A and B are shown apart, each in its own frame.
Chain A
């Protein structure tokens, strides 16, 4: 048994993980107590990492034009076709779309190949969807894409303002750290600014449920309020900034009276003033912001409106102070550092940085090769796909991301992919929505196999270590890219034998002609990590950049001296003129749509859906609706409903949510065509972009809501080997696939036309015949099961899913079947009940870590354990990742009120 330290591949917190290996298997994971991001904590997703591995469902062999081929053939095909495209249509006809899931080394060689040697500027990344606005705001204010803060600042702050960030669900470990800090410092206050009451409100002293998209107005109002009350830090402003007057003037173009701002933001003026007062009177303020700010058609301005207030109050460059962009992806920061965005060149140099093109050209040159860098920025994500649509781009290489799911107007993206003459996809999972569009499919290695570095939200570079060999013929992305480069004739520039060599080059480039006080000075400098040998690279401890000769142990906080990365060293306050969402509400689409993550899923679910306990939290796509709206739109809790948006429909189950503002709905961003028939949030959104960052407006869609006209609902559990065809999907108006540990659950619903279905005949068409069944035709109910040779093969319930038993018992029967154990007679008699007689059903799982069900918890509360601590002591719920604590609190409240 071995223990290896690595980094979690999920969110941008970048937690250290201690992995336990035994017999060539990853058997357990635990938080790395030595890692400064998490100090041993892990959230529910991280805790389930070892459950999401395994060769099942992995892409194992390269494919060209639908045929499995040898690697050499695939790489030849990639190189030949890319070369042909460039030859026939020019170098700008070639593009790449990368991902914050890639490691820095992968990212670096991809950027180098496309921008430096193929010579196309069109290389962008899915980080565009998550933090491009923050990048642009940082650059405008600080002169570089630099996050000033460290996680410790969250703990040292006296006031933490969460804006557009559900930290509790999306960055659970940071939230836990904040929560602990708040218990230790009773004076610490937390303000949550979010249109939705989220679980992060659990620790909020003040909640501002603002009108979606009105954040810039709110922070402009704050700037003016501070100015009007003499709360600006005149000295700081004078010494370290420029642009206050213009920023204030822009803010004052609107009525900045409290009443007017409150009305525009739909807030209570007193609560608003309380926030303004707290912010103005406290120096140690940290404002973490995330997608609620970034995913907007004016996200960059919103980011600057926040930064303006910090600069104006001198709340920056101090312990416990600063605007703090919290990123979504594990290596969004690393991608920014190598220049993975289309408007970047490399190593924090942009096309407009003086001398940058020349400098990078010289750096990448070899004795016999000279790169030819593009002159101007390329297309950003959404523009990129529009350029494909226009026929300008003929070849696209997509790595480690799924734009068919994640971009707005998903169907238009799919149409563009369909018409693109050459689509190359590097992917680790065999079954994604994207692969259908790929001409060449390259099996890539995945977390636990990949070896390299990532950078988290606090600029901390950590090693993600290879623990296991890739399955089948899967290869590392950097290797694949270098092999293609070699075939294109650039072998000399891509002659890396190990990621350590790539990292070394990356570190050297960051320090290349980067001397303080010289024209080319860049804040991003990790030259202190250059020349690491492989052993030193392997042993690299987590460290925050810049890492230089002057700061060999890294830098926890930026701008402490008040000197910024602008040519004059002064930070900029940026004039912000608040703009509302571009996706206008109208009679046809009267509801405001918000999209976001849920606690237990990651992105398009390729990994997290493999863990049944993660699927348990929210097994189906859903639509959160304010109770008052539900009646108005004719929907009720747990009913299926349809949202109609700009680019298509979304079907999910209604969840009445008291935390939802009236007139607004929320949908998760995770579901896609692999998991449900019509639950792609991206289909609902129109492609409106921030003009500076190109980031899509994903948080403020416009939709209509209506109940889905269905006549029946059914739940089907099938043994894994029967799940292949799944042709029952075609007969359903709604379907969702929910992997369980030993079977697959299908949730199905049908239209009135299919209501008179003879279910036993239906079963015979799709599955082995029913061996036992119960029916209540006039009640519209049926349950049936198929047993072959004493082994459970499938289980069906027609009727409302509210009548489902807990499925763990049934899943265990499938496990027995897989072990080739026969079902005993008593169990068989309980099969359609789905549980042993008298065994209490523990209800839907609340605590994913310890698999504690709602009924069990309610019983314990009624028995007197009516506190989080008591429940934890009795049932262990809420004691691991803590993300269910808000739900536990709600249950305690409900049960005591009853």
Chain B
């Protein structure tokens, strides 16, 4: 695929899915000078795209439903975008460039974008289909859980990752007695090291959440009427509950791409221009797989959107490339910021800051100068600066003494070392590779 498509935009453009990725793609396309003239969006949920990240505060009762709305149906109409809601695509006929929905609708496409997202992954567990077992994925789930919460009682949340924590904290705030089950030995094991996870657990337990790590699920117990009554762990422990929330991860929605014969691995395979094995079909976001990567956080998806929008509009654009991304979490006052490997390897030098009483923790992994990973708990203000340094691959040796202290301290040392190296270099023209920063008027 050439980086710059010479073909004229081919209408109509059809986008399957109306989640956050789909919405952002539309916004990006509208900003293009040559947006595709005809755009159709098909969404499975009955409402237009909303901000899924805000489901947790919604559940916790901290936000109103309206706050989540990104764009109204009228907006789609005003922009000349055909919006079809509440219908699921059941078949893609690549030969005919045509798709079919569960409502029997047929749509022809010139180009097709699959932005079908993901669904909650469910463990294969006896009783997983019982009533009272919920996911926490969409507005519908939030409404259901909100109903549960308003009845009080107890809840068990399965999964100590980002989503599970937020669901648990949301329910606890709504007055439920919540137990959080985490299979791994510590919370958020994909993002946090043991120390930060320990601080987080200590904080959440302090607020009244029960946390069980290293939890091995045995079964969900039926109350005899098809409703969940308890969660049973291996070893015999039984946790009676009114409601179970499953938040162990997500499974990309690869149907109907797989059925249409697109190359699918864990998700729909795409190249740097988000193109699937069919050049007329693109995939974006949680349903796609680029190289070995699948997606769950917005940051890389937003970059995919930029590439795809430009590409669809015929703009010259560099292909999508994988970059590390940072995790931010805010559970009612607990700030976390993390990127890179969670646990140090042999090759890493570890720098850490601890203030357990105040609940501040910071751990950096250096690899021969540049920063490769960071975990910040509590005071996360310097997080973005660390992340930028890591992305730039900057050698941080000169500011190492101040690296844990924050951006201003570290920058001062970096500037000083830069000044020193400039002073030491004989003449600027003798060292063409040296980049001299623009100096302010001295």
Check if B391 is an interface residue, CB within 8 A of chain A.
no
Q: Is the CB of A837 within 8 A of B401?
A: no
Q: Is the CB of B357 within 8 A of A771?
A: yes
Q: What is the 8 Å Cβ interface bit string for chain A, positions 856-869, against chain B (1 contact, 0 not)?
A: 00000010000000
Check if B297 is an interface residue, CB within 8 A of chain A.
no
Q: What is the 8 Å Cβ interface bit string for chain A, positions 763-786, against chain B (1 contact, 0 not)?
A: 000000001111111110100000
Check if B423 is an interface residue, CB within 8 A of chain A.
yes
CB proximity of B422 to chain A, nearest CB, Å: 10
Q: Is the CB of B401 within 8 A of A803?
A: yes
Q: In the bound complex, how far is the Cα of B422 from the Cα of A898, in angstroms? A: 11
Check if B355 is an interface residue, CB within 8 A of chain A.
yes
Q: Is the CB of A776 within 8 A of B406?
A: no
Check if A828 is an interface residue, CB within 8 A of chain B.
yes
Beta-carbon nearest neighbor of B357 in chain A: A771
Q: In the bound complex, how far is the Cα of B432 from the Cα of A365, in angstroms? A: 92
Q: In the bound complex, how far is the Cα of B401 from the Cα of A803, in angstroms? A: 7
Tell me which residues from 827 to 860 in chain A have a Cβ below 8 Å from any Cβ of chain B: 828-830, 832-833, 837-838
Q: Is the CB of B379 within 8 A of A774?
A: no
Beta-carbon nearest neighbor of A781 in chain B: B401
Chain B residues near A779: list those with CB within 8 A.
349, 351, 400-401
CB proximity of B197 to chain A, nearest CB, Å: 19
Check if B316 is an interface residue, CB within 8 A of chain A.
no
Q: Is the CB of A771 within 8 A of B355?
A: yes
Whether A776 touches B405, Cβ cut-off 8 Å, given contacts A771-B355, A828-B358, A829-B360, is no
A776: contacting residue among B349, B360, B423, B442, CB under 8 A: B349
Check if A799 is an interface residue, CB within 8 A of chain B.
yes
Beta-carbon nearest neighbor of A771 in chain B: B357
Chain A residues near B354: list those with CB within 8 A.
772-774
CB proximity of B230 to chain A, nearest CB, Å: 42
Q: Is the CB of B357 within 8 A of A774?
A: no
Q: Is the interface of A mostly helix, strand, loop or mixed?
A: mixed
Check if A825 is an interface residue, CB within 8 A of chain B.
yes
Q: In the bound complex, how far is the Cα of B382 from the Cα of A829, in angstroms? A: 12
CB proximity of B410 to chain A, nearest CB, Å: 10
Whether A862 touches B355, Cβ cut-off 8 Å, given contacts A776-B400, A779-B349, A833-B409, is no
Q: Is the CB of A774 within 8 A of B423?
A: no
CB proximity of B381 to chain A, nearest CB, Å: 9
Whether A775 touches B406, Cβ cut-off 8 Å, given contacts A803-B401, A862-B442, is no
A829: contacting residue among B356, B357, B379, B403, CB under 8 A: B379
Beta-carbon nearest neighbor of A787 in chain B: B357
A772: contacting residue among B349, B351, B355, B423, CB under 8 A: B355
Chain A residues near B408: list those with CB within 8 A.
837-838
Tell me which residues from 232 to 276 in chain B have a Cβ below 8 Å from any Cβ of chain A: none
Chain A residues near B403: list those with CB within 8 A.
776
Beta-carbon nearest neighbor of A839 in chain B: B408
Q: Is the CB of A777 within 8 A of B400?
A: no
Q: Is the CB of B404 within 8 A of A774?
A: yes
Q: Is the CB of A799 within 8 A of B401?
A: yes
Beta-carbon nearest neighbor of B407 in chain A: A837
Check if B353 is an interface residue, CB within 8 A of chain A.
yes
Check if B205 is an interface residue, CB within 8 A of chain A.
no
CB proximity of A556 to chain B, nearest CB, Å: 53
CB proximity of A795 to chain B, nearest CB, Å: 13
Specify which of A776, A828, A898 lies most central, judged by the most chain B CB atoms within 10 Å of its CB: A776
Beta-carbon nearest neighbor of A800 in chain B: B401
Q: In the bound complex, how far is the Cα of B351 from the Cα of A774, in angstroms? A: 7
Chain A residues near B404: list those with CB within 8 A.
774, 776, 832
Q: Is the CB of B405 within 8 A of A832?
A: yes
Chain B residues near A776: list those with CB within 8 A.
349-351, 400-401, 403-404
CB proximity of B166 to chain A, nearest CB, Å: 25
Q: Is the CB of B358 within 8 A of A772?
A: yes
Q: In the bound complex, how far is the Cα of B408 from the Cα of A774, in angstroms? A: 17
Beta-carbon nearest neighbor of B419 in chain A: A898
CB proximity of B24 to chain A, nearest CB, Å: 35
Q: In the bound complex, how far is the Cα of B406 from the Cα of A787, in angstroms? A: 21
Q: What is the 8 Å Cβ interface bit string for chain B, positions 416-442, against chain A (1 contact, 0 not)?
A: 000000010000000000000000001
CB proximity of B403 to chain A, nearest CB, Å: 8
Whether A828 touches B400, Cβ cut-off 8 Å, given contacts A776-B349, A833-B406, A837-B406, is no
Beta-carbon nearest neighbor of A831 in chain B: B355
CB proximity of B384 to chain A, nearest CB, Å: 15
CB proximity of B78 to chain A, nearest CB, Å: 46
Tell me which residues from 28 to 72 in chain B have a Cβ below 8 Å from any Cβ of chain A: none
CB proximity of B60 to chain A, nearest CB, Å: 25
Q: Is the CB of A775 within 8 A of B358?
A: no
A898: contacting residue among B350, B353, B400, B423, CB under 8 A: B423
CB proximity of A844 to chain B, nearest CB, Å: 15
Check if B298 is an interface residue, CB within 8 A of chain A.
no
CB proximity of A562 to chain B, nearest CB, Å: 61
Beta-carbon nearest neighbor of A862 in chain B: B442
Chain B residues near A833: list those with CB within 8 A.
402, 405-406, 409
Q: In the bound complex, how far is the Cα of B382 from the Cα of A833, in angstroms? A: 14
CB proximity of B321 to chain A, nearest CB, Å: 31
Chain B residues near A828: list those with CB within 8 A.
355, 358
Q: Is the CB of B401 within 8 A of A777?
A: no
CB proximity of B365 to chain A, nearest CB, Å: 11
Q: Is the CB of A774 within 8 A of B401?
A: no
Beta-carbon nearest neighbor of B409 in chain A: A833
Check if B352 is an interface residue, CB within 8 A of chain A.
yes
CB proximity of A736 to chain B, nearest CB, Å: 21
Q: Is the CB of B352 within 8 A of A774?
A: yes
Q: In the bound complex, how far is the Cα of B358 from the Cα of A771, in angstroms? A: 9
Nearest 5 A/B pairs, CB to CB: A772-B355, A833-B405, A774-B353, A803-B401, A776-B351
Selected A-B contacts with CB under 8 Å, 14 pairs:
A771-B357, A772-B353, A772-B354, A772-B360, A774-B351, A774-B353, A775-B352, A776-B351, A776-B403, A777-B350, A778-B350, A829-B358, A833-B409, A837-B406
Q: Apart from A774-B405, A829-B379, A832-B405, what 19 extra A-B contacts exist at CB < 8 Å?
A: A771-B357, A772-B353, A772-B355, A772-B356, A774-B354, A776-B350, A776-B400, A776-B403, A777-B350, A779-B349, A779-B351, A779-B401, A799-B401, A803-B401, A803-B402, A829-B358, A832-B353, A837-B408, A838-B408
